[in-house]
Every structure is written in C-alpha cells, then in structure tokens.
A and B are shown apart, each in its own frame.
Chain A
Amino acid sequence: MPQPSSADPQFQAVEGTAANFRLGFFRGLPIALGYAPVAFAFGVLCVQNSIPPALAIAMSVFMLAGSGQFITLSMWCSGAGILSTTVAVFVTNLRYILMAVALFPYVGKLKGFSRLLYGWQITDELFALHVTAFQKGWPLNKTAVFTATCSAHIGWVGGTVAGVFCGGLVTDVKPLGLDYALAAMFLALLVPQCTDRLHVLTAVMGAFFSVALKSAGFGQWNVVLATIIAATIATVIYRHGKKRDGGLQAGGGKDGEATASSPAPKSREVQA
C-alpha cells in the first residue's frame, strides 16, 4: 500500500486503469516478497519429506495458507492421521472466520466469482492490508484489490515451485532479512490501527493473551482465542463508556479512554 496521499482519488473512480493495477501491485509487493522465501522453505520441506511436487504446488495454489500448510505438512509427516491433521488445520484457521466477518461490510457487495476469489484469497497479510485500506476510506476497486491478492498468490506459488525444484540453490534467506518481512509488514499495519487508547489497549491485550496462550501450549488456539478475548473486553469497555456518556452527556468518563474511541471508520482518516 503506497502512502495514501491527496493523489488517491484519481485511482478510485475507474475500474481497470493502469493506475489501479500499479496501486494493487505495490500493495501486494511487500507481501509477495515476504511470502516467497517462506513458500520456498515450504517447497524444500515438502521435497525432503517426499511429498510429490504436484501435491506440494497444489497445496500452495488451493490452500494459500502459511501456518495451515506447515501444520498439514508436519502433522502428516509425523504420522498423524487425516482426521487429526484436518482438525488441527481447522482450529488454526478459525481466525479466518473473524477476518471474513470483519471484511464483510466492505466486500459484501462483491458478486459471483469475485466474491468467491476474494474469500478464497483471505490470508492474514491480505486481510491486514485490505481492512486497513478500507478503513481509510479506499473504495472497493476490483482491479487494485485483485492485483494485490494475485501478486501475493503468485509470490506464494512461485516460491513453492522454486523450493520444490531448486531447493538446493538457496540455503539461507537470513542475510537479506527476508525472514522478517512479514513481521515487519504486520507491525507497519498494526501501528496505524492504534488510533486511540482503547485500540492500543486492544492490541496490547491481543498480544498478551496470544503470547500467554502460546506459552501455555495452546499453539493452534492462541490467535483466535486472544482475538476474541481482546476484542470482547474492548467492546465491553467501549459500550459501557457510550452508555455512561449517554447519561452524563458532556461530563465524560474519568479515564477518558472509552470516550476517546469512536468505532466510526471516519476517525482514521485523520491519521492517514
């Protein structure tokens, strides 16, 4: 996502322009760059565990899921059966329900194949990218959106193909810092989410519960549980503040926290 600027509206009106294509490409590029080495590692691991190349690549094409694919691979190779592998993958992927629900107000108007493809391509990174863009008031421009998602998808599949067929060529992505690309991207998207104190608190709670649950051995549940707990506490605080403000009018809350937060997307445009 290039810097939103006063030049934005020119991208927004028309579908299919070169500007929209460029916008989508540059939004998707950091994700593709982050995906490629991870997918490369996945391809290498598949070959080392004698997964046939066709199935390894098919996984990346159809699943398009980082943690999901690695869990499938490691559980299958450690001898877990179809049922336990599938259940583990399902639990890990429950977070996608939350993401799709959060995206629904913005992408619900997509029809037919567009909706199917958009939903199919919801990954952690593309969710974070798009929900931030939509919150900032960027319209649902199919050219920009699908150029971004398909760039990321190509990066993922391309990395897998390279890992499957020439896994021996590259041994280490660490000197380039590529193993930090996705974390860096999430941080760059997470900070602008913290528009007020209540959102900072939400992020801190999400981080805390996620780390705590992971440390406690809830490795596959940590993200979805931490998200539900943090967002629910924040909602209770917010609605409590709203109710109290309704009674007190201009009095305001003494912590100022709940009153400062407005769940209206408009509040973010100030930041952008």
Chain B
Amino acid sequence: MTAFLEQHGPLAACLLACTVCTVGPRLLPLYALRRSLPGWLKDWLEFVPAAVMAALVIPDVFFYEGVFNPNPLDNLFLLAGLLAIGVSALTRNFFATIVFAMAFVAGMRWLGWMA
C-alpha cells in the first residue's frame, strides 16, 4: 500500500481532486437550494432539459470520428440521427428509437455502404 502510494501518489491526488470537481457540481444545488425557486428560474429550468440534451448529443452526431461533417450521406451518425428523430417523432417509443438507430448503424456497416 505504501509502495503503491509512493509510486502513484500524484496520480491518486489528481484523481481525488477530479472526483471532487465531478461530484461537487452534482451535489451543490441539491444541498444549497431552498424549497421554492423564483419564478424566472422555474421558467428557465423548463427549457434547460431540451437545451442541454441537444447541446450534448448534436455535436456527437455532427463530429463523426472527431471531424465535423454536415453531409448526412457521408456521415453515418448524422444520417442515423436524422432517421432516429423521425422514428421517435412518429412512434413516440423510447426503445424502438434506440433499437432502430443502433440497428441502422450496424446494418449500414455490415452492408459496407457506410463506415
């Protein structure tokens, strides 16, 4: 144990600091906020889920393998994403959307039409 810490002490310290910086932002609001939020904040929070989900996922779809590629015929993730949005809007089915999108990506690769 001592030898382990001597060898990996700085890394362990870095990981500890990074863990605090990960868990802190998650816990802070749950402990700092009071029961009732002001009206403007409630309105604002109503739009946060749509904004944050789009901000998280859309870059992953447009940056296929790290390169920005807005052409759906050349970017498998973008094409699959557009179709998944269609499937989700039509079926309103969570599982069907996921299974469709993964199967589409796997299928296109299997067929060798897109990589």
Contacts and interface: CB of A to CB of B under 8 A. Distances in A.
Given A184-B84, A203-B50, A30 B56 contact: no
Contact of B105 (A85, A177, A226, A272): A177
Determine which residue in B42, B50, B101, B104 has the highest number of CB atoms from chain A within 10 A of its CB, and name it: B50
Majority-rule SS of A interface residues = helix
Nearest to A191: B88
A58 B15 contact: yes
A176 interface: yes
Interface residues of B, number: 73
Given A89-B22, A104-B33, A174-B109, A230 B43 contact: no
Contact of B59 (A2, A54, A192, A211): A211
A206 B21 contact: no
A105 B37 contact: yes
A43 to B, nearest CB: 15
Contact of B51 (A182, A202, A222): A202
B23 to A, nearest CB: 6
Interface of A: 1-3, 30, 51-52, 54-55, 58-59, 62-65, 68, 72, 76, 82, 85-86, 89-90, 93-105, 107-108, 110, 115-116, 118-120, 122, 124, 127-128, 131-132, 135, 174-194, 198-199, 202-207, 209-211, 214-215, 222-223, 226-227, 230-232, 234-235, 238-239, 263, 271-272
Interface of B: 4, 8, 10-15, 17-19, 21-31, 33, 35, 37, 40-63, 68, 77, 80-81, 84-85, 88-89, 92-95, 97-98, 100-107, 109-110
